[in-house]
Amino acid sequence: MPRPAPDRAALRARIPGWGVDLDPAHRPSGTVETIDEAAAGRGMPPRQADDPGRERSIEHAFLTPVYGTAQPLHGLSGRIRRLAYARFSEGRAAHWLLLIAGDRVEAVGAHVRSLATARPDNPITETGILSEARRHPIRSRFGRGRVDQRHTWLDPLLVAGPWVLAGWVVIRIVGRALGRR
C-alpha cells in the first residue's frame, strides 16, 4: 500500500526552500506571467481532415489535431514503414526495427540516386575519416572510455562495403555486356 504524501507544511518545515515558487508573487517570472482566461477553456484545436494515406499508431483512434508530412512515404522504404504502422504496436521491437529498415532502404536508394548526379556522394570525406587521422588520432582513440571502440572494426565494412559491392556489380554487368559483342 502506498504511503500517503506528506502535507505541504511538513515538507516546507523539513526541506529548506521547498515550495518557494508555489506563490506566484514570489516567483522570479511572476511579473511576466499572465493568465488568459479566454484561452483556458478553448480545448483542442479543430481536427485536420483525416488522410487515409497518413500513418498513425494502431494504439490511437485518431491522429493528433495538427500534423504534417515533411516528406511523404514513397517506394520500397515507404511500404516497409507502412507495414510497421499497420501491423505492429509502438511498444513492440518489430515496429521500430521495421522503421529502421525503412530508413536503411531509403539511405541505399539515396546513394544509388546520387550516382546519377554530377556530384555523387563521397564516403571518404563525408564520414569524417580523414579528420580522424589528422586531429590527434592516438589521444582521441585511447584512454577516453569511448563507447564506439567496440564496433570500430565494423565501420569500414558499413561505409565502404556498399560501395565495393556496387562497384563489383557494375564491373560484372559491364563485363557481361562487353563479352556478348
Query: What pLDDT does 106 receive?
Result: 92
Sign, Cα dihedral of 19, 22, 25, 30: positive
33 or 96, greater pLDDT:
96
Task: Give the residue among 35, 20, 92, 85 at the shortest CA–CA distance from 56.
Answer: 85
64 or 9, greater pLDDT:
9
- Domain ranges across the chain: 75-121
Query: What pLDDT does 101 receive?
Result: 95
Q: Give the pLDDT confidence of 112-146 residue by residue, as tens digits.
A: 888 888 888 887 777 777 777 777 777 766 766 77
Query: What pLDDT does 53 receive?
Result: 67
Query: What pLDDT does 33 receive?
Result: 60
Q: Give the pLDDT confidence of 5-57 residue by residue, as tens digits.
A: 778 788 888 887 777 777 767 666 655 566 666 666 666 667 777 666 667 77
Model-level pTM? 0.49
**2 is written with which cell numbers?**
502506498
What is the band of 2 on the pLDDT scale with cuts at 50, 70, 90? Answer: low
Q: Give the pLDDT confidence of 5-19 residue by residue, as tens digits.
A: 778 788 888 887 777
Task: Give the residue among 124, 106, 130, 105 at the shortest CA–CA distance from 163.
Answer: 124
Mean pLDDT, the chain, rounded, equals 78
34-50: buried (b, 16+ CB within 10 Å) or exposed (e) per residue?
eeeeeeeeeeeeeeeee
